[in-house]
Structure 1
Amino acid sequence: MSRFCGDVDAEPVLSAAAHWKKSCLLSDGSALSGQALWTPACIEEIDKYFVQRPDEGAGNFQDKLEQQLAPVSPEAKMLAAEMMWAMYLCPSSLTASHKRETVQTLWARSGKPLPSSSEQWLSDAVLSGVGSAGPGFNQNQWRELAFCVAFASRLKAEPEQRRQALLNDPWKFDEWITQLPDGKARQLRHMVLYLLFPDEFERIFGKTDRRAVLRHYTGRPNREIDKLSPDAIDRELQNIRTRLEQQHGTTQLDYYIQPLRDEWRVDTFSAATEEVTPANVLAALEEIDRDGVPASAASMAYDLVYKAKRYPPKYVLSLAVKHATGEPLDREQFSGGEKSPAFRLLRRLGFNILLKDDTAAGDGGESPIAALMDGFLAQAREGTDLSTQGYPGEYRGLQVKVSFGKGNFARIPWIAFLAEGQTVPLGIYPVLLYYKAQEQLLLCYGVSEENRPKAAWEESHMNRTVEQWFRERGLGRPDRYGSSYVAAAWDTSKHLPLPELEAALDGVIDEYHRTLKGTSPDDAEKLAVKVDIQAAINSFSAALRAARVDFGTRHNELAAAFVCSLLAKPFVILTGLSGSGKTQIAVRFGEWLGEGRLHVAAVRPDWTGSEALFGYEDALRPKSADGRAAWVVPAPLAFILRAYEDPDHPYLLVLDEMNLAHVERYFADVLSGMESGLDCLPNLELDAGTWRMKKGLETSIPFPPNLYIVGTVNVDETTYMFSPKVLDRANTFEFRVSTQDLVAQRHKPTNAQPGEMELVRGLLELSRSGSDAPEEPLNALAARLRTLHAFLSRHHFEFGHRVFQEALRFGGFGLAAGFPDVNSILDRIVMQKVLPRLHGSRRRLELPLLGLARFCTQLPEVIESDKELSSMLEALTGSNGPAQLPISYDKVRRMLYALQVNQFASYTE
C-alpha cells in the first residue's frame, strides 16, 4: 500500500487532496472558499498573463508572479493562490509556514480576505508535506505552476463524464496526464498522481530516485530505463511493490524507510551521474559564475579549481547532473571527500579538486593572494611609495582596492575587497589591515568608519572589534578602524603562512557574497521571530500530548514551568522515579525545537574530567601541513559547536543519568563558561575529516548562549550527590506519578513534531532579552523571597544574588506565560531553587524544614523563632490542609517524614 509513509502522517495531506479533487477538479469550486474559482475563464486568465508571458528577468519567483498577475481578475488571483496550495501539498522540502505565507500573500493580492474556514486547509498538518521534492522543484516552481495551469486547462476541457471517468481510474488518468505538455519532466505530475491515487502511485517525486529504484529491483540498464515513458515506469514500480510486499509479508513498506531505503540508494549516484560529461561540468561552472553559490552549498574543506577560480565540488556536480539529465542531483544523497565517488568522477572528467589550504591552482604558479601579499608588505614596510599600480584589480568577483595613504604614507595600509555598491567610506567589505607599529596583519569584517553602512555582517561574525582585540593584548588603542571585526590575525615579524591566510580570506569572502546576495524566502524565514511565550508554551504542551506524553492534571502547568525555567537559566535538572517522564519531556522539547537540534548523551561512570565534553588534543594523529594538531571530539562537543555556528536557533543537550559520574569533575568547565561568558570551548572545524583548530582564528570561543542543557538524575547506590555549586546554577524538577495518572490506555511515546520556527526562535529572543512583566507583582515576589532569605540565614542555608535574580527572572517569565498569581510562581521557585539545596541530618534540617513548612502554609512576613517552631513538628507534619504553596509544602512534609524515620533527608528520595 503506497500510502504508507512510516512516521510521516499523510492522512491530513490526503484528506486535503480528496477535498481538492471534489471541490476543484470534479467541479469548478474552490479549496479555500465557497466561490467558483477553478473555472475555464479563470484558468485562461492565468495562462494568458503568466504562462504565455514569461518573465525571464531578475527577481524571485513569487515577486515576478505577483507582477505578472497584476492585470487579472480577483478570482484569477485567488485561483493562483489555490494552485500554489495544491502544488505545496506534497513537498516536505519547504516549511509549512513558508507555504502558508506564500498562499496568503497571493490571495491578499485579490483584495478579498481568506475565509476562516480555510484555516484547516492551511494548517501545519496539511502543509508539512509527505516527501522531499529535491532542489529541482524548488528552483523551478514557475515551470511546475505552468504545468499546473496546463493540467487544469486540459482537464476542464474534457466533457464532464470523461473527466469523472479519468479521476476515478488511476491508470487511465496516468496515461492522460503523461500526454500533457511537459508531462514527462515535471515533478508535479508524480505528486498529483500520489495525491489522487495514493494506493497505486508512490511518493517518489524525483526522476533520479524513480530510475534508481527501477534499476535496482529490475536489473535493467539505464539505456533501457531511459526509453520507458513515465506511465510505464509507474506500472513497473507497482509491480515491484507487489513483489516486495509478498516477500516481506506486509504492505507497510516505503522506499524511503528501512528495510527498503538502503537497498536501492546505493544505485542512486551511479544512475544519476552516468551521463555527465566535461561539457556538463563547464555549463555548471558558467551557471555558478552567473548566479553565485547558495549559502547552504558552500564547501567546507575542498574546492574545485578552474582557471584560478574556486567552486564547491558537490554543488558543481549537482548542477552538472541537471545539465545532463534535466534534474539536479540532491546533495544530501551523496557525499564528498578525498575518496568519494563524486570527487573521483570529477577528477576522471579532468577537473582539479584541492584542499582549501592548498594554494596551487594546478599550474604550479604562485597564487594571486601570495603575489599580492608579497608586494603589499614589501611596499608597506618601505613606507615611501604611495602608488598602487600593478596590483590586481579583481579577486573572486570583487574589486581589489589597495591603499598606502593619500599625500602622506598611512600608519595602517590596507587591502579591501569590494562588491558592487560597496565602498570604503560607505559599506562593508573584507579587509586586510596592516598595523606596522605593532607588526600585526588583521583580516577583518570591514565596516565603513565615516558613514553607517546600509548592509550589515551577520551577528555571528561580530564577536570582537579591532579595538577589543588590541585591548585584550595590551596594545593600547588602534589608530584607526577600531569598529571593524577581527576574523584572523598574524604576527608579521614571523613567517607569514600564506596558504592559511588565503583560506581565511576566502572564507570571509564566501560570507561576504552570502551576506550581500540577500535572503531567499527560506533564509528570510530563518530570521523571522515571533515573541509570544504563551503561544510557544501552548504549542509545546500540545506537541507533548500529540507525542503521547501526558502529565495528567498538571500537564500544562509542568510544561510552562519547564519552558520558563530554561528561559530563566539554560540549565535544568530533572529528578524522580524511573519511568516518570523525566527523559520524555526533555527529549520531546528537543524535538519540538526542530530537526537536528537535540542531542542525548548518556553519562558514563568514567567521565572523570572536562575531556568527556570538551575533547582533547590527539597526539597520536599527525599535525596538518600548517602545524594544527588533530583533536578528539566527542559527540556532545560536536553538537555544542554546531549550536555555536547557528546562533539564531536554540539547541538542547540532554545529559542522561547525569550523576553516574562526579558531576563537578566533568561539568565544572561548562558551569564556568555558562556563568562567565568567557572563552572556554576549543574553536574547531572539520578539515578533511579531522577536527582541528580553525585556521588563523582564536583558539577558544565562548559557550553558546543558544544551548539549553537538561540533566536527568536517578538515585541509587551507584550514583553521586550534587554539590550546592551545581544546584545553585540549575532549576531542579521532581517527577512523581500520581495514582490517577496510571491509566490503562497509555501508549508508547512517539516523536514530537517540530514547533513553528518563528515561535521557537521567539523563545531564544526571550531568553536573551527577558520578559516585560509588570513591576508590582515582581516587587511582591521579591519581598516574599527576602522573608525566606532572612529565615534561611538563621540556619546557614541562605541563597545568594544569583539565585535571587534568577528567581525574579523566572517570575517575570511565569507572569508572561500565564501563571495564575505570584504565589504559584513562588511555589515553583521554592520547589526548584530552594529545597534542592537542603540535605543533611535531623539536627541540621529539622528547624529549617519546619520554618519552610510554616512559610508554605501561611506566607508570614516573619517566621517564628526556632523555639516556637520546635513545638509545631507534629501539627505541621500531620496537616493535610490547604497551603499557600501546595507543591513545596507537600515536598517539605515528605522531607520531614524522612527526617523522623531515617534521621536524614535530602531533596532526592
Structure 2
Amino acid sequence: MSLKTLFKEVMDNYIKVRTSQPFKGNRIGDILRKEIPQEIQKFDFIGDEYFIKGSNGQGNWAEIPWVAIMDKNITQTTMEGVYIVYLFSSDMKRLYLTLNQGYTKLKDKYGKFGANEKMLSLASKIRNKIEAKGWNTDNNLSIGNEFYEKGTIFYKKYENDDLADDETLKKDLHDLINIYKKTVFVLSGEDNDQIYENKEDYIPDNDTSYNVKDELDYIKSYIKNQGFSYNDKLIENFYLSLKSKPFLILAGISGTGKSKLARLFAEAIGCNTKNGRFMLVPVRPDWSDSTELLGYKDMHNKFHPGVLTNFIKRAINDINRPYFFVLDEMNLARVEYYFSDILSIIESRKKDGDRIVTDPLLNKELLDEDSFHEYGNLYIPENLYFIGTVNMDETTFPFSKKVLDRANVIEFSDVNLDYFFGDTEEITEKVLNNSFLKSEFLTLNDCLDYREIIDDVILVLKKINDVLREGNLHFGYRVRDEISFYMIHNELNGLMNFDEAMDLEILQKILPRIHGSSISIKKILVELFKICSGNYESKYEYEDMDVSDKMLKDMDNCVYPRSAEKIIYMVRRYEEDGFTSYWL
C-alpha cells in the first residue's frame, strides 16, 4: 500500500477510532506501528543505520500519533537526541514532516522551561549551520503539543484535504534525510565546530555507536579464521545475552568449545590476557565460599585480595573498555557457595547519571585500615562481563533457581567437526569500546518507548507461566524483564525475527528451571510443547508412555522449534528414567 494511502487512512479515522475502539489489535495502530515503517524501510535511501518506529500510544491511545526515523549514531529513542518524525496534528487536519528533538530527558535534567530553552537554542544553531532550502523554520506549527512544536528544527506541512502524492512524500523525506545526515555530522563534532554546550544531551552516553550487524559479522569471521565453527545465530545470541545481563552461562558436554567461544569473542573485540582485559579462572571442587574470588582477612587482620577483586579494580580504572571474567567449569563446586555474594551485588545495579553502579563489592568488616583505602570503594562496573562454562553431566552440581533466574543459559549440543582448510583470510585487529555491550535497560521503566515489543513478550510469557504455575515452577519479574531487554535489543538491531529470538529465550531462560520426577513435570512439559509447537488442537496424553514420539511427529512448522525439540528430549528422558532435567 502507498505511503499516501496509509497516511490518509490514519488521518481520516484516528479520532473516531481513538474515542470508540479498544487500543490493542486495532487496524489503525497496526498501520502506525508496522505498515508505515515497513513502507518507509523500502526506500533505497533508508539504510541500516536508521531505526524506524511508529506509535499510537503506550497502552492507551495517544492524542498525537507519530512515526519517527532515527539515526542510531544519535538516538534510538524519541526521548532524547535529534531525529526525523512525522507528526499528526491532534485534529487530524495536518501532517508535519519534521526534523525534531527529544524532550523527555532534557525535561528531566533541566525542567520544563530549561528544556524548551535548550531545544530552541539548538534549533537556531543548526539552522545557522545547515542550509535547508524549501523547509520551514518559523515554529508556527499547529500540532496540539508545545514540545513537538518548540523542538522542531525544519518542517513541511501537508493538509489532509490536499495530501501530497507518493512521489512528493518520498522526495521530501529523501531531502530531509540528507539534511539529517548533515545534522548528525555537526552534532558529532566532526566539523570541528561544536554547536552544543553539553554533547551528552544530544548524543547518548558520550560513547561510540556501532552497526551491530557489521560488528557481529566481523566477530564471526574472526572466530572462523581461528578454525572454529559455531551454529547459526549463536554469536547473535551470545551478544544479546550479555547486552541484556552481564552474566552468561555456556553449557554442554566437555570439549564443545565453550571456553574457546568466550575467549575468541573477547579477543575479537580487543580483550585478551596480554592486555589484562580477559581472565579465565578454573573453579576448584573445594570452593565453599567467595574467598578465592573476593579475598580474605588473615589471623593478623591483614586483607588479601582475591583474583576477581584485583580484576575489578583494573576494570574500574579503564571504564570505557569491556573486561571479561570467565569461570571455567563453574559447577564443579556449588555456585551458590562461592558466587552468591557476587550475584546479589550484580542485582543491585542502578544508574548514576550515565554510569551503571552497584552496591560496594566488599564489606567493611573484611577490610583492614590500609586496604580500605584501596578496595573500600570498589563495585561491579558496567564494563565487566561474567561468563561461566559448565559441563552437563552427572559429575557436577545442579544450579539453583537463584542462579538460573539471573543468567541466560546457552547450550552447546551440536559440534561441527569440519575444519576450513584454506578458507581463512587476514583479520585486522579491532578494538570496540564498552558501548557495544553495555546494558541500556535496568528496569522496564527504561523501555517505555518499546511498549509494543514488551506487550508481545508478556503475552507469550503469561501463557507459559500459567502452565508452570501448576508445578510451582513459575517465574517472576526478573525473568520477565531480562527477556524483554533481550527482545528489545534484538528488534533494535534487526538480528532475528521475533519468534526466533523468543524461541532462544524460552530455551535458555525458562526450560533450565524444569526438573523432577513427579508426573506433574511431564504434564507441564507436554503443555509447554503445545505452546512451542503452536498446535493446541492435538491431543497429547501425558500419561502415555510414548507421548514424546507423538510430539516428534508434530515438529513441522513449530513456532519455537528449538524449545520444542528440547522439550521432546526432556519428556523422553522422563519416559525412560522416571526423572528429567534440562541438564541431563
TM-score range, shorter chain: 0.5 to 0.7
Asked if 1 retains the 8 angstrom alpha-carbon contact of 2:441 and 2:485, the reply is no
1:533 aligns with 2:212: yes
Provide Cα deviations, 1:90-112, integer angstroms capped at 9, x if missing partner: xxxxxxxxxxxxxxxxxxxxxxx
- Name which structure has the greater RCO, CA cutoff 8 Å, separation 6+: 2
Aligned to 1:550: 229
Distance 1:589 1:710, change over 3 A: same
Matches within 5 A, 1:165-204: none
Tell me if the contact between 1:548 and 1:750 (Cα under 8 Å) persists in the aligned partners.
no
Displacement of 1:692 after TM fit?
4.7
Paired residues of 1:580 and 1:735 also in contact (CA < 8 A): yes
Q: Is the contact between residue 772 and residue 812 of structure 1 (CA under 8 Å) also seen in structure 2?
A: no
2:582 aligned residue? 907
Partner Cα separation in structure 2 for residue 855 and residue 532 of structure 1: 34
Pairing partner for 2:390 from 693, 696, 713: 713
**How far, CA to CA, are the matches of 1:752 and 1:655 in structure 2?**
28
Alpha-carbon offset, residue 906 of structure 1: 0.9
Q: Does 1:608 align with 2:288?
A: yes
1:882 offset after TM fit, Å?
Answer: 3.0
Aligned mate of 1:897, from 569, 572, 578: 572
- Say if 1:898 and 1:905, in contact at 8 Å, map to a contact too: yes
Q: Is the contact between residue 615 and residue 631 of structure 1 (CA under 8 Å) also seen in structure 2?
A: yes
SS of the equivalent of 2:378 reads: strand
Residue 662 of structure 1 aligns with which residue?
334
Deviations 1:198-245 (A, max 9, x none): xxxxxxxxxxxxxxxxxxxxxxxxxxxxxxxxxxxxxxxxxxxxxxxx
The one of 608, 624, 634 aligned to 2:306: 634
Please say if 1:806 is aligned against 2:482: yes
Aligned-partner residue type, residue 388 of structure 2: G
Amino acid at match of 1:875: K
1:731 aligned partner: 408
1:531 and 1:763 in contact (8 A); partners too: no
**Is the Cα–Cα contact under 8 Å of residues 252 and 412 in structure 2 kept in the other structure?**
yes
Matched, 1:575 2:251: yes
1:645 and 2:320 matched: no
Alpha-carbon displacement from aligned partner over 1:414-461 (angstroms, at most 9, x marks no partner): xxxxxxxxxxxxxxxxxxxxxxxxxxxxxxxxxxxxxxxxxxxxxxxx
Determine helix, strand or coil for the equivalent of 2:418.
Answer: coil
Tell me, in whole angstroms, the C-alpha distance in 2 between the residues paired with 1:855 and 1:752: 43
TM, length-normalised to structure 2: 0.56
Where do 1:777-788 residues align within 5 Å?
Answer: 777-788=453-464
The answer as to whether partners of 1:896 and 1:905 remain within 8 angstroms in 2 is yes
Query: In structure 2, how many angstroms separate the alpha carbons of the residues matched to 1:717 and 1:542?
Result: 35
CA distance in 2, matches of 1:674, 1:767: 14
Asked whether the 8 Å contact 2:294–2:307 carries over to 1, the reply is no
Distance (Å, rounded) in 1 between the aligned partners of 2:425 and 2:340:
34
Which 10-residue stretch deviates more, 882-891 or 537-546? 537-546
Equivalent-residue separation in structure 1 for 2:439 and 2:472 (angstroms): 37
The one-letter code sitting in structure 2 at the alignment partner of 1:763 is L
Larger of the two Rg values belongs to structure: 1
Structure 1 residues 772 and 746: alpha-carbon distance in aligned structure 2, compared to 1, 3 A threshold: farther
Q: Within 2, Cα distance between the matches of 1:654 and 1:893? A: 32
| CA shift for structure 1 position 754 | 5.0
* Percent identical: 31
- Counterpart for residue 34 of structure 2: none
1:850 and 1:869 in contact (8 A); partners too: yes
Cα distance between partner residues in 2 of 1:604 and 1:767: 34
* 8 Å CA contact retained: 2:523, 2:542: yes
Q: Distance in 2 between matches of 1:810 and 1:558?
A: 14
Matched, 1:673 2:345: yes
Is it true that 1:764 corresponds to 2:438 in the alignment?
A: yes
Measure, in 2, the Cα distance between the counterparts of 1:771 and 1:650. 24
Deviation at 1:780, TM superposition (A): 1.7
Q: Is the 8 A contact 1:649 1:764 kept in 2?
A: no
How far off is 1:753 after superposition?
Answer: 6.7
Q: 1:823 aligns with which of 475, 499, 510?
A: 499
Q: Please report how far the alpha carbon of residue 588 of structure 1 lies from its aligned counterpart in structure 2 after TM superposition.
A: 1.3
Matches within 5 A, 1:183-582: 528-551=207-230, 554-555=231-232, 557-582=233-258
What is the rounded CA distance, in whole Å, between the counterparts of 2:228 and 2:372 in structure 1?
42
Partner residue in 2 for 1:794 = 470
Structure-2 residue corresponding to 1:123:
none
Residue in structure 2 matched with residue 159 of structure 1 by the alignment:
none
User: Deviation string for 1:445-502 (max 9, x for gaps)?
Assistant: xxxxxxxxxxxxxxxxxxxxxxxxxxxxxxxxxxxxxxxxxxxxxxxxxxxxxxxxxx
1:795 CA displacement: 2.3
For residue 461 of structure 2, give the secondary structure of its aligned residue in structure 1: helix
Q: Is the 8 A contact 1:547 1:750 kept in 2?
A: no
Q: Which amino acid aligns with 1:887?
A: R
In the alignment, what sits opposite 2:68? none
**Are the equivalent residues in 2 in contact too, given 1:605–1:661 (CA < 8 A)?**
yes
Superposition RMSD in Å = 3.4
The one-letter amino acid paired with 1:701 is L
Whether the aligned pair in 1 keeps the contact of 2:570 and 2:582 (CA below 8 Å) is yes
User: Which of these residues, 582, 586, 598, is aligned with residue 278 of structure 2?
Assistant: 598
Secondary structure in 2 aligned to 1:599? strand
The DSSP-based 3-state class of the residue aligned with 2:522 is: helix
Deviation, 1:711, is: 0.3
Give ranges in structure 1 of 5+ residues lacking alignment: 1-525, 621-628, 685-689
Aligned to 1:693: 371
Indicate the residue corresponding to 2:527 in structure 1. 851
Tell me how far apart the structure 2 counterparts of residues 600 and 826 of structure 1 sit (CA, whole Å): 30
Count of aligned pairs:
361
Distance in 1 (alpha carbons) for counterparts of 2:305 and 2:392: 30
The alignment partner of 1:573 has SS state of: strand
Q: Which residue of 2 aligns with 1:341?
A: none
Question: Structure 1 residues 531 and 771, CA, compared in 2 at 3 Å: closer, same or farther?
Answer: farther
Q: What is the alpha-carbon distance in structure 1 between the residues aligned to residue 425 and residue 308 of structure 2?
A: 24
User: Residues 864 and 766 of structure 1: is their aligned pair in 2 closer, same or farther, counting only changes over 3 Å?
Assistant: same
Measure the CA separation in 2 of the matches of 1:578 and 1:834.
23
CA distance in structure 1 between the partners assigned to 2:504 and 2:555 by the alignment? 19
The residue that corresponds to 2:556 in the other structure is 881
Cα distance in structure 1, aligned partners of 2:294 and 2:439 = 27
Indicate if the aligned counterparts of 2:244 and 2:439 stay in contact, CA closer than 8 A: no
Judged with a 3 Å threshold, the aligned counterparts in structure 2 of structure 1 residues 648 and 772 are, in CA distance, closer, same or farther, namely farther
- Asked whether 1:832 is paired with 2:508, we answer yes
Maintained 8 Å contact 2:324/2:387: yes
Q: What's the counterpart of residue 742 of structure 1?
A: 417
Is the 8 Å Cα contact of residues 213 and 495 (structure 2) preserved in structure 1?
Answer: no
Preserved contact between residue 682 and residue 693 of structure 1 (Cα < 8 Å): no
TM-aligned CA deviation for residue 547 of structure 1:
2.4
How far 1:775 sits from its partner (Å)? Answer: 3.8
Provide the rounded CA distance (Å) in 2 between the counterparts of 1:751 and 1:906: 43
1:762 aligned partner, one-letter code:
F
8 Å contact kept, 2:313–2:378: no
In structure 2, relative to structure 1, the CA distance for the partners of 1:550 and 1:842 (3 Å cut) is same
* 1:643 CA displacement: 1.4
Q: Distance in 2 between matches of 1:774 and 1:547?
A: 38
Whichever residue aligns with residue 730 of structure 1, its letter is A
- Superposition deviation, residue 854 in structure 1: 0.9
Change over 3 Å in CA distance of 1:832–1:870 after alignment to 2: same
Residues 853 and 705 of structure 1: CA distance in aligned 2, closer, same or farther (over 3 Å): same
